[in-house]
């Protein structure tokens, strides 16, 4: 039986996609990715690779989201549209204007 743990978002460099730790067992750890795919990772990989725990000391984290637009797009209009969409999303805490 796996150890009980709080569900935390982690990423293992070169190992798995970011996700939520669902179960920690003696030999493996089950991670549910953000698109709900279950990945079983041998625990030895966590000893070999870097592990990033996005919510270790604070459950609030940032998301870097690359966005591609047509070369003919007006950068200010794209920025305005993205900030407006983010500000209307209920899970976005704060939208800071980034300079282009």
Alpha-carbon torsion, ordered 21, 24, 29, 30, to 10 deg: -50
Distance CA 22, CA 87 (A): 30
Residue keyed to tokens 């750890």: 29
Of 34, 5, 29, 4, nearest to 19 (Cα)?
A: 34
Name the pTM for this structure.
0.47
3 pairs with which residues across the strands?
Answer: 24
Which domains are seen in the chain, by residue range?
A: 9-53 (2.30.30), 69-100 (no CATH)
Average pLDDT of 18-47? 87
pLDDT of residue 10: 56
| pLDDT tens digits for range 60-75 | 766 677 889 999 999 9
CB atoms < 10 A from the CB of 21, how many?
18
């Amino acid at each position: 039986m796996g150890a009980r743990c709080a569900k935390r978002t982690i990423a293992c460099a070169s190992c798995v996609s970011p996700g939520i730790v669902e179960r920690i067992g003696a030999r493996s750890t089950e991670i549910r990715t953000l698109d709900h795919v279950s990945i079983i990772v041998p625990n030895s990989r966590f000893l070999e690779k870097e592990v990033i725990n996005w919510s270790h000391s604070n459950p609030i984290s940032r998301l870097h989201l690359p966005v591609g637009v047509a070369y003919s797009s007006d950068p200010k209009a794209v920025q305005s549209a993205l900030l407006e969409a983010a500000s209307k999303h209920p899970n976005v805490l704060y939208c800071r204007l980034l300079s282009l």
